[in-house]
Structure 1
Amino acid sequence: MTQTFSSTGRDSFVGTPRSRIDGPAKVTGLAKYAGEFSAPDLLHGYVVSGIVAKGRIKSIDTRAAEAVPGVVKVLTHENRPRTAWLNYNYQDQVAPPGAPFRALYDDKIHYSGQPVALVVAEDFDTARHAATLVEVDYEAEAPSVDLSKVEAFAYDPPMKRNGIKPPPKPWGDADAAFDTAAVRVREQYTLATEHHNPMEPHASTVIVEEDGTYTVYDKIQGVSNSQGYLANVFGLKKDDLRVMNPYLGGGFGSGLRPQYQLFLAMLAARDLGRSVRVALTRDQMWTFSYRPEAIQTISLGADRDGTLQALRHDALAPTSQFEDYQEVVVNWSGILYRCDNVALTYKLAKLDTFTPADMRAPGAVTGVFAIETAMDELAYAAGQDPIQLRLKNYTERDQTQEDKPFGSKALKACFAEGAERFGWSKRNPEPRSMREGRELVGWGMATGVWESMMMQTSAHAILTADGKLEVGNTTGDIGTGTYTILTQIAADTLGLSMEAVTTKLGDTRLPEAPIAGGSWTAASSGTAVMKACRDVGEQLFRLARQMDNSPLANVDFERVAFADGHIEVAGDPARRVALVDVMRAAGVEKLEAVGQAAPDKDFNSQYEAYTHSAVFAEVKIDEELGQVRLTRVVSAIAAGKILNPKTARSQILGGVVMGIGAALEEESMMDTTLGRFMNHNLGEYHVPVNADIHDIEVIFVDEEDRANPLGVKGLGEIGIVGTAAAIANAVFHATGKRIRHLPITVDKIIG
């Protein structure tokens, strides 16, 4: 039986808007990031990036670089220590099947921008200058980097990626049902490659301690992942590696896996016996970690009234030559809509690029854009309102997972509340029918969906005699407000003020938790913290009952409440005792516990859990210039219990903005001859700026969920899912022109 969380204090923090407790440190500069920690005699490493996409290194001349005063060593595949890569096929926590990329391993070139040397010097400027003097002679081959030209080589990945559900087996006969359907839509949808571009570039600082152990500061979304990676690759004991990352300047998934600068920093530190920092440049951030493009075909067949009779969703996505990267792309179509004849396929094709990476709502941004645009096309073809079409094909069961019911699904409320707030009833459905001066006005909507997950997690709670509480684990706060919500949960559970609670994260000396990603952190770490605090509370209660003249004598634990720093009999606050008095009377300096959280097997065997949304968008488009202004977005979210409306709203705002980028601006442009992304800087890779963002309204609809004790669903991903489709649908409503390739740029509108 899942126990639902409820605060025992009279003044609950959970469910109320609270500012981020880490905010002051970030805005004042007190927060230190992985590339800002220092050590005596710290060396600096600068990566030399390769310039060809495929081939081998014929020769590499480092003599001029090594002659520069202040240069300590130049590491290449020819002189790297052979102690590295002891475990050739080590799989980090989120690695896809295959052999991970090995920096400086041999002379083979796998992709453009691959690190081919590391210059280590006494200071950064010297290392950077010397790096320009390294001469590399390549034997280049023509790279294969165009997904549209390798469809004939598409394949089903032989090994499935851990945690990624493969497409289900088809049910019914989608092709036959499509052929006989009264209304048919079959179109192709594509998305451009996107790069993460967090504000903080990737960096690692490896400090060599006097006892031979290492303290590592790494830009990572879960320090235990970096610790396991280093231990396996270099044959080290985990106890000799303390990895920390208290703050992260944006990740969006780029920090889920250890990146190559971590390997290079440790390689140099072990080889030279000195502390080393390696920080990547903004240009080098384009050499890895991106959302892959995809070519998708959606086939929808329906009755005259829009009832689905056939649904087929086929996707082709790229991966590297050395790993089979996989996402959940096509399954969302079967999750969102009820249909008796469904076929979902997902294939890969190998390119001469780095392995793609999880980027905020990986797979869902891609797949939901396609199905939600196709559903809008079906609505027009069938003469149906887009919301009514979705309600007509609404489902309360997940047909992709043994037709299990959803544990909760308040999507209908999202449609209703979002439509009312947006003013959807005033929409003229005819394309090009609404205008404002010289601008065409378009209204579009789409559905969003994301998994509601919980992971095996631990956390500690330590209460000291002065009434101060510490909680924490190894997970990271990636800007989502994890420090704050864990503090709220802990404060409520033991009836303390938030000021009395300190939350520690991002340190491998803390109890282990998974990486911060997948929208599972609140449910997982939050539950573990709650359980640890409840354990401490039970210890306090037992001590309180033993006090002389205890007001809690002969009272069961279920009858007490924690409030205002006291334990009291619920409903009788006169019978209370202060926590500090309990510990003083017992002569106890501290009480501690480790809480464990895990998915509810009974619940998961019966139900599926997802977060849902309804996104509404308004665009205004200059009829002559084709310039798009996104003037309004309303995002209605069903995500169970909202722990902190302020940080929760911020998560949705950020997701919506990223969705705007995907819809209208973001595109990593590949030169298919060179095999290199050409707009590898923030001047030419466009992201939304303040002038692009207008009114964004977030609505949290009421929803009760039993998938975890807190009753929460993650919010990190759901804000972005469906946003691009809503915008694309609005562009069609405004212009009458259907654009199926993202981003939607001026040339596509007026071309």
Structure 2
Amino acid sequence: MKTQYIGKPVSRVDGLAKVTGTARYSADFKVDRMLYGYIVSGSIAKGRIISIDTSKAMGLKGVLQVFTHENVSGLPWFSIKYKDMDAPSGSPFRPLHDDKILYSGQPVALVVADTFELARYASSLIDVLYEEESFATDLAKNIDRSYKAPVGKIGYVSPKSRGDADEAYGEAEFKMSGTYQHGAEHHNPMELFSTTAIWENGKLTVYDKTQGVTNCQFYIGNVFGLAYKDVRIISPYVGGAFGSGLRPQYQLFMAVLAALELKRPVKVGLTRQQMFTFGHRPVTMQKLALSASADGSLESIRHEAYSETSRFESYTEIIVNWSGTMYNCDHVKLKYELVGLDMYTPVDMRAPGAVTGAHAMESAMDELAYELKMDPLIFRLKNYADEDQTEEKPFSSKELIACYREGAEKFGWTRRNIEPRSMREGNQLIGWGVATAAWDAFQMPCRAKALLSIDGKLVISSGTSDIGTGTYTIMTQIAAESLGLKMEDVTFHLGDTNMPMAPLEGGSWTAASVGSAVKGVCEDVKKKLIRMAVKTKTSPLYDSNSKDIVLDSGMISDVKDSSKSASIVEVMRLAGINSIEETSTSGPNPINKMKYTFNAHAAVFAEVKVDEDLGIVRVTRVVCAVAAGKILNPKTARSQILGGVVWGISKALEEESKMDHQYGRFMNHNLSEYHVPVNKDINDIEVIFVEEKDDIVNPLGVKGVGEIGIIGVAGAIANAVFHATGVRVRNLPITMDKVLQIAEDDRNQVAI
């Protein structure tokens, strides 16, 4: 019986290193003669630096240099605007480039000293005089300056309309319209961004927190005019990132700048407050208008979104496109525009665009269902999309109906009373809501290397990342099963530009992309082993039919003759081979990409309890049913969905970066005032993986689960709040003041 690891709930192979503290993160690497940098952040939103006095800081013993725009020049990117691999359209931010201030919190100086404490103290002695200019940071007040989002960022596709949604809406019997908003959010992973740069013998070694070592190598090589082969980026462990590590952050530039100038190793890290100064999920305003016939068939969808970006780059997300593919509808009008503001460019944040658009669309679907007096789940089933109408292509697989069915059964949806405010426990109003989620099932080009030694040990490597998702573990599982080895005989290495190139770790494409490369390279090694086994005259399997050979638990056997068997070690020894080394490349099938749409799907059911007097909302139950192809490891995959649901709860009820438009600065830039859930906020979460077979999407049949878990949660919770209270809150997060204020407004309207 062939040993099977794929699909089994294997514990993390890197778990022991993490819980014992032997896993080394970017800030943990130390070398002799280390210097420490501390970044000085600007205090105005827009203007220029008139003067910057560093004399007091430089007068301190142990301070080696203070870098500012006045003494940093001559870098290649100052004349050629190099971009990183994940950059949107526009001109990337260039730290210490000139005297211009583009946003509040912009780095204006780097102090480098013998100790971190000295560098931090010296930074307080720097005097900066500014000339302020008028600025704009309020999306709502600047909508009139919106412009069409350009195509340029990887993965962005302009929305496509069809039919005549305006006419269909005007003639419809049942309709709704509304405006939905959500505030800015910041990633706030546990690990702060930190970089250690070492310049030695013409070679640069950098330990960095990143989701893409190759991207950082590309960026640093271009910015500083270094050959890529002379720049090595290492990032074996990442303590959370959620998209914040896709682009190189400015501490990387600072550390390398100082190391090259001072010819000594330099470590530069960001403070928690500075973690709020390099990008966020953008504030977005969305307008929805849906209509339906009396039988519940959707007749029109109009979805437009306005999202903030910086003045220097046009950051894009796919927000409205999902509304054209999620449900069957012949008349769809989609619009997505940007508003340039005086802030840093937003960055990708878990399920970028989809989680934003789904909240609005799924809330609107709920509102229209109530106009129709139809159960919200039945309404969704009524308008189920069997194919992608936007691209006029079938889905490679789609088990969303099974998600609805299994999720509803587990949740007990049939016991739901459709009337708002009809379910309660004392003064606790109970509400049940549902929402749909979808995310692209990407596959990106990737390479992997395999080295099988004479001792039967296999080392696999690929320059990908593991931000806590379980990449180390699932790649070990794939390799062990593909080559018929025990898991303890397989080691997977990642996070190093000396390894084969891999894509950025994001978009839920790592399992499919890196996994396919790992499977492919193991298949290549397997072919060599089988050829050795049947061609080596002294081998017990000599002259066997290659098609009858199997590998299992380190043994090579002939399925038609049980007497013909040998260990991998024995076959290699008899063949006189000490090791087998292979490198393989995998990528998406271009023909399949043209013929099919690849999506993961989910159905989310949420229960809330709302204090009738205080408006306090608690999420008491969530059931998330997911169809994402082959689940490589139910244990780590479940963890991904749990994390997504928790973040969805946070997005719905708590999370928001508050911008003071008088100063153009995020004010709650710390973990005490930036609210995220604690243990008491999280109750029962049930994860269901619906069986879904997909032989088209990629060789492994996987779709990825990093994003899909968060996408429908906020919509389901918002719908549950309405069911509980009769109050429709369209502005996230749903806080108690909004619930009470809208309820009071509704009562006043009734009185009038």
TM-score (structure 2 length as normaliser): 0.97
Question: Could you give the per-residue CA deviations for residues 407-465 of structure 1, whole angstroms, max 9, x where no partner exists?
Answer: 10000000000000000000111100000122011100100110000000000111000
User: 2:106 is matched with which residue?
Assistant: 114
User: 1:244 is matched with which residue?
Assistant: 234
**Structure 2 unmatched runs, 5+:** 742-752
User: 1:733 is matched with which residue?
Assistant: 723
Whether the 8 Å CA contact 2:534–2:546 is kept in 1: the answer is no
Question: Could you give the per-residue CA deviations for residues 264-307 of structure 1, whole angstroms, max 9, x where no partner exists?
Answer: 10011111111101000000000112100110001101101221
- Aligned equivalents of 1:565, 1:289: Cα separation in 2: 48
- Aligned equivalents of 2:45, 2:400: Cα separation in 1: 46
Residue 400 (1) aligns with residue 390 (2): yes
User: 2:271 is matched with which residue?
Assistant: 281
Amino acid at match of 1:248: V
Structure-to-structure mapping, 1:278-427, within 5 angstroms: 278-401=268-391, 403-427=392-416
Residue 260 (1) aligns with residue 237 (2): no
Amino acid at match of 1:187: G
* Cα shift at 1:348: 0.5
* Cα shift at 1:165: 1.2
Whether the 8 Å CA contact 1:13–1:488 is kept in 2: the answer is yes
Question: Could you give the per-residue CA deviations for residues 231-254 of structure 1, whole angstroms, max 9, x where no partner exists?
Answer: 011110111111000000000000
User: 1:96 is matched with which residue?
Assistant: 88
- Aligned equivalents of 2:310, 2:292: Cα separation in 1: 38
Q: 1:178 aligns with which of 160, 165, 169?
A: 169
Q: 2:660 aligns with which of 660, 664, 671?
A: 671
Q: What secondary structure sits across from 2:108 in the alignment? A: strand
Q: 2:132 aligns with which of 140, 143, 155?
A: 140
Whether the 8 Å CA contact 1:96–1:325 is kept in 2: the answer is yes
User: 1:5 is matched with which residue?
Assistant: none
User: 1:653 is matched with which residue?
Assistant: 642
User: 1:523 is matched with which residue?
Assistant: 512
* Cα shift at 1:330: 0.2
- Aligned equivalents of 1:406, 1:563: Cα separation in 2: 35
* Cα shift at 1:741: 0.5
Residue 195 (1) aligns with residue 189 (2): no
- Aligned equivalents of 2:603, 2:547: Cα separation in 1: 40
Structure-to-structure mapping, 1:498-537, within 5 angstroms: 498-537=487-526
- Aligned equivalents of 1:304, 1:324: Cα separation in 2: 42
* Cα shift at 1:84: 5.3
Q: What secondary structure sits across from 2:503 in the alignment? A: coil
Amino acid at match of 1:616: F
Amino acid at match of 1:319: T
Q: What secondary structure sits across from 2:435 in the alignment? A: strand
User: 1:628 is matched with which residue?
Assistant: 617
- Aligned equivalents of 1:592, 1:30: Cα separation in 2: 29
User: 2:195 is matched with which residue?
Assistant: 204
Amino acid at match of 1:492: E
Question: Could you give the per-residue CA deviations for residues 500-549 of structure 1, whole angstroms, max 9, x where no partner exists?
Answer: 00100000010000010000000010010011011111111111112235
Farther off after superposition, 85-94 or 327-336: 85-94
- Aligned equivalents of 1:11, 1:162: Cα separation in 2: 39
- Aligned equivalents of 1:31, 1:84: Cα separation in 2: 36
Whether the 8 Å CA contact 2:76–2:222 is kept in 1: the answer is no
User: 1:31 is matched with which residue?
Assistant: 23
Residue 542 (1) aligns with residue 531 (2): yes
* Cα shift at 1:86: 5.2
Amino acid at match of 1:412: I
- Aligned equivalents of 2:282, 2:343: Cα separation in 1: 10
Amino acid at match of 2:60: V
* Cα shift at 1:87: 6.1
User: 1:218 is matched with which residue?
Assistant: 208
- Aligned equivalents of 2:557, 2:228: Cα separation in 1: 44
User: 2:744 is matched with which residue?
Assistant: none
Q: What secondary structure sits across from 2:130 in the alignment? A: strand
* Cα shift at 1:649: 0.2
Q: What secondary structure sits across from 2:464 in the alignment? A: coil
Q: Give the 3 Å change call, closer, same or farther, for CA 726–273 of structure 1 in structure 2.
A: same
- Aligned equivalents of 2:718, 2:557: Cα separation in 1: 56
Q: What secondary structure sits across from 2:715 in the alignment? A: helix
User: 2:629 is matched with which residue?
Assistant: 640
Residue 589 (1) aligns with residue 595 (2): no
Q: What secondary structure sits across from 1:592 in the alignment? A: strand
User: 2:594 is matched with which residue?
Assistant: 605
Please provide the CA RMSD for this pair.
1.1
User: 2:156 is matched with which residue?
Assistant: 164
Q: 1:15 aligns with which of 7, 18, 34?
A: 7
* Cα shift at 1:398: 1.1
**Structure 1 unmatched runs, 5+:** 1-8
* Cα shift at 1:149: 1.0
Residue 130 (1) aligns with residue 134 (2): no
Amino acid at match of 2:59: A
Structure-to-structure mapping, 1:668-747, within 5 angstroms: 668-705=657-694, 706-747=696-737
* Cα shift at 1:613: 0.1
- Aligned equivalents of 1:487, 1:724: Cα separation in 2: 34
Residue 80 (1) aligns with residue 72 (2): yes
Q: What secondary structure sits across from 2:90 in the alignment? A: coil
Structure-to-structure mapping, 1:410-559, within 5 angstroms: 410-559=399-548
Amino acid at match of 1:646: K
* Cα shift at 1:476: 0.2
- Aligned equivalents of 2:153, 2:56: Cα separation in 1: 44
Q: Give the 3 Å change call, closer, same or farther, for CA 80–489 of structure 1 in structure 2.
A: same
- Aligned equivalents of 1:683, 1:142: Cα separation in 2: 31
